[in-house]
Chains A and B, each alone.
Chain A
Amino acid sequence: MVTKKQFLTKLNASLKRLPSSERQDILQDMEEYFEIGIEEGKTEEQISASLGSPHQIAKELAAAYRVEKVGETATASNILRAVWAVIGLGFFNLVIVLGPFVALAGFIIAGWIVSVSFVASPILVLINVSIHPQIFEPFDLFFSIGLAGLGLFIAIGMFFATRAITNGFVRYLKYNVGLVKGGMKHVQY
């Protein structure tokens, strides 16, 4: 049996990573819910039992918040936080979110590494020449300049691919937040 105060304290503690304005707003909503319930003659314990686990509610609120943040600014750290929060919703999400995330992140990282190392290849040839001038082959230099050109094209492609993949993945996260694990009855805490 959980009283109003206990419920709100637990909810607040589970939301500690959210900004305080957001948290205050949420707690106010729940407080209003308790107050109206009490006016209608319910006990605090009945109300908190019908609300379910504050921990689960907090998880869903946090996931929704993180995904919303990514929608505003898709920085790498925002994306990681959102992925983490959505995964936290349940085992199902671990499978359907982490898998695609690792695959897409791997693709993006590999693509950028390839393009950067291609672009840098003439510099590597020059460094090599300065260390071992006796083994200089003009072919190496021409070939590496060609590679650098190719690397630039790959970089341009990766720029658009990264943007498209990020947008698509953010939409996928949003869809997940809406889809999975809500309305869990009988959750113990």
Chain B
Amino acid sequence: MNVQFKKGVLELCVLVLLNKKDRYGYELVQKISEQIDISEGSAYPLLRRLTKEGYFTTYLKESTEGPPRKYYQLTDSGKSYLHDLLQEWEEFTNGVNQLIKEGVNGD
């Protein structure tokens, strides 16, 4: 799939995953790459950017195995950003689906 396209969607994926619960970086990246073929390293610049823009906060939490892990937590402004993105996404996919339907039915 197109690189630009994926990157836009990556932001949405990260926000959606954090909406349910706090997660650490590795977990986030694995969850996404189970579904979408991404270069896993590209998630990190994204995570840092969104953190600096105030959409996430981070904290360290001890793990039962190995060193402490950095967890990402969605802030209130992150939640409202997610809300906006989801709405855009729905409008966009509805539009595309409508066009596909018309195209496949062949009018």
**CB-based contact A37/B41 at 8 Å:** no
Query: How many angstroms between the C-alpha atoms of A29 and B39 in the bound complex?
Result: 16
Which residues of B from 21 to 59 have beta carbons under 8 Å from A?
Answer: 24-26, 29, 33, 37-42, 44-49, 52
- Say yes or no: is B16 at the interface (Cβ < 8 Å to chain A): no
- Say yes or no: is B79 at the interface (Cβ < 8 Å to chain A): no
Which A residues touch B46, using CB under 8 A? 182
- Say yes or no: is B7 at the interface (Cβ < 8 Å to chain A): yes
A20-49 contact mask (Cβ, 8 Å, vs B): 1 or 0: 000000101110110111010000000000
CB-based A-B contact count at 8 angstroms: 95
State which of B29, B45, B69 has its C-beta within 8 Å of the C-beta of A182: B45
Chain B residues touching A, majority SS: helix
B1-28 contact mask (Cβ, 8 Å, vs A): 1 or 0: 0011011101100000000000011100
- Say yes or no: is A123 at the interface (Cβ < 8 Å to chain B): no
Which A residues touch B3, using CB under 8 A? 181-184
In the complex, how many angstroms separate the beta carbon of A46 from the nearest chain B beta carbon?
Answer: 11
State which of A26, A35, A182 has its C-beta within 8 Å of the C-beta of B7: A182
**Taking beta carbons and an 8 Å cutoff, which residues of A are in contact with B?**
26, 28-30, 32-33, 35-37, 39, 50-54, 56-57, 60-61, 64, 68, 177-185, 187
Give the residue among B10, B25, B49, B69 with the most A Cβ atoms within 10 A.
B49
Category for how many chain B residues contact A: 20 to 34
Beta-carbon nearest neighbor of A31 in chain B:
B67
Which A residues touch B11, using CB under 8 A? 178
Give the residue among A36, A50, A187 with the most B Cβ atoms within 10 A.
A36
Query: How many angstroms between the C-alpha atoms of A149 and B6 in the bound complex?
Result: 54
**CB-based contact A61/B48 at 8 Å:** yes
In the complex, how many angstroms separate the beta carbon of B73 from the nearest chain A beta carbon?
Answer: 16
Which B residues touch A64, using CB under 8 A? 45, 48-49, 52
Which B residues touch A36, using CB under 8 A? 24, 26, 66, 69
**CB-based contact A33/B26 at 8 Å:** yes
8 shortest interchain CB distances as A-B pairs: A52-B39, A182-B7, A51-B41, A60-B45, A182-B42, A36-B26, A57-B41, A52-B41
